């Protein structure tokens, strides 16, 4: 057993001479997340505090420990307090999502720029664009509008992924030079093939948003959404309301169909109610859905409509998006064959 321990220790020492584990630290610190398994293999229980191994850092260098990863960029915190970044490794054995446990850098390395972020609030430019960013626990939703053209994007907090509503769910993400790019190749979206790209310029804050979505038609790909909002600037730092009123006109637009729902909220009989009228057209054969009625607000804050033949529709509003659910499964009496009503409707007015 002692011979095996010595062989394992020599292996680790060999790795250290190549820089793979270079760090001024105790043996357990150097092994990081794998310390439990490897230390047990070396009978660490037999080692006293004074027997732990320490390795010097060469003159003019300092050790930097892994701290986080965003997209393809790994961040490390150095002993001096500096933060440095390195490209993520394309490795099946690397820990921390492809980032080394630690690295060595010249002492006094310049600090990296603060990590990019999307601040909560509204952004406008001089060309009629409006972008609203709503931060959540896991990421940020962006509602983008440019002269009547609308799009909705989702971005995870660590920039590892997101989506482009109606085109890419999920969307792959990459972050380089302060620009976050989302995109996907051909995806099936409600019976249609779609693809799309989006760019968020985060240099100095959210300064530009570009969205392009395409739908595959019999004669090839057709651009369905093309938005370019440059020169954005924040206009408000107030937190967006999570529980707005539901009144308004909302539009549905995806690769399979389009439509609208108009809602008017009012109070009656001691309850909040919503009178609505929903109409959609979907598919190559123009399947239609026409549903209207009055929904009643529940204790959870949603509005629910109960119609004929077991039809039940839920309306949930979050800022500028009205989510309609349950209609496709229960409201066949109001809808044509292969028609749709469920989906995320973006507020128009």
Q: Is residue 273 part of a domain?
A: yes
- Asked if residue 219 and residue 164 are part of one domain, the reply reads yes
Q: Is residue 93 part of a domain?
A: yes
Q: What is the pLDDT of residue 184?
A: 94
- Asked if residue 205 and residue 179 are part of one domain, the reply reads yes
Q: Is residue 276 part of a domain?
A: yes
Is 60 exceeded by the pLDDT of residue 177? yes
- Secondary structure class of 309 (helix, strand, coil): helix
Q: Is residue 242 part of a domain?
A: no
Question: How many C-alpha atoms does 315 have within 13 Å on its Cβ side?
Answer: 33
Q: What is the pLDDT of residue 93?
A: 60
Cβ 63 vs Cβ 106: under 8 Å:
no
Q: Is residue 158 part of a domain?
A: yes
Q: What is the pLDDT of residue 41?
A: 35
Mean pLDDT score of the chain: 77
For the segment 320-349, the average pLDDT, to the nearest whole number, is 89
- Asked if residue 303 and residue 204 are part of one domain, the reply reads no
Q: Is residue 332 part of a domain?
A: yes
- Asked if residue 129 and residue 105 are part of one domain, the reply reads no
For the whole model, what pTM was predicted? 0.47
- Asked if residue 150 and residue 257 are part of one domain, the reply reads no
For the segment 154-167, the average pLDDT, to the nearest whole number, is 90
For the segment 237-262, the average pLDDT, to the nearest whole number, is 73
Q: Is residue 309 part of a domain?
A: yes
User: 317: closest CA among 347, 277, 288?
Assistant: 347
Beta bridge partners of 104: 63
Of 69-73, 101-105, 132-136, 187-191, the range with the highest mean pLDDT is 132-136
Q: Is residue 61 part of a domain?
A: yes
- Asked if residue 218 and residue 278 are part of one domain, the reply reads no
Beta bridge partners of 146: 129, 149
What end-to-end distance do the CA atoms of the chain give, in Å?
A: 75
- Asked if residue 149 and residue 199 are part of one domain, the reply reads yes
- Asked if residue 299 and residue 205 are part of one domain, the reply reads no
Domain boundary among 195, 213, 236: 236
Cβ 281 vs Cβ 259: under 8 Å:
yes
Domain boundary among 29, 55, 81: 55
- Asked if residue 139 and residue 228 are part of one domain, the reply reads yes
Q: Write out the residue range of the structural domain in which residue 23 sits.
A: 1-55
- Asked if residue 207 and residue 126 are part of one domain, the reply reads yes
State how many domains the chain has.
4
Domain boundary among 115, 130, 154: 115
DSSP for residue 44: G
């Amino acid at each position: 057993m002692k011979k095996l321990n010595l062989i394992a220790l020599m292996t680790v020492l060999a790795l250290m001479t190549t820089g793979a584990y270079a760090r001024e630290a105790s043996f357990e610190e150097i092994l990081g997340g794998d310390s439990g398994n490897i230390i047990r293999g070396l009978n660490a229980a037999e080692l006293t505090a004074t027997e732990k191994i320490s390795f010097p850092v060469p003159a003019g260098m300092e050790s930097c420990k892994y701290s986080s990863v965003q997209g393809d960029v790994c961040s490390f915190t150095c002993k001096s307090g500096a933060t440095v970044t390195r490209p993520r490794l394309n490795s099946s054995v690397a820990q921390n999502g492809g980032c080394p446990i630690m690295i060595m850098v010249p002492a006094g390395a310049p600090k990296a720029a603060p990590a990019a972020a999307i601040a909560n609030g509204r952004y406008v430019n001089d060309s009629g664009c409006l972008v609203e960013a709503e931060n959540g626990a896991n990421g940020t939703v962006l509602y983008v509008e440019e002269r009547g053209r609308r799009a909705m994007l989702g971005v995870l907090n660590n920039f590892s992924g997101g989506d482009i509503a109606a085109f890419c769910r999920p969307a792959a993400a990459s972050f380089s030079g302060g620009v976050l790019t989302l995109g996907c190749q051909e995806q099936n979206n409600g019976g249609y093939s779609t693809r799309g790209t989006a760019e968020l310029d985060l240099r100095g804050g959210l300064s530009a948003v570009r969205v392009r979505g395409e739908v595959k038609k019999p004669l090839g790909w057709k651009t369905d959404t093309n938005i370019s909002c440059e020169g954005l600037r924040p206009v408000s730092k107030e937190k967006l309301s999570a529980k707005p009123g539901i009144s308004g006109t909302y539009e549905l637009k995806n690769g399979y169909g389009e439509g609208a729902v108009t809602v008017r909220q009012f109070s009656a009989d001691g309850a909040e109610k919503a009178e609505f009228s929903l109409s959609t057209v979907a598919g190559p054969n123009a399947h239609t859905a026409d549903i209207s009625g009055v929904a009643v607000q529940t204790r959870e804050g949603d509005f629910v409509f109960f119609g004929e033949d077991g039809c039940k529709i839920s309306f949930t509003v979050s800022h500028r998006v009205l989510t309609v659910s349950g209609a496709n499964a229960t409201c066949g009496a109001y809808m044509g064959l292969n028609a749709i009503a469920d989906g995320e409707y973006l507020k128009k007015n």
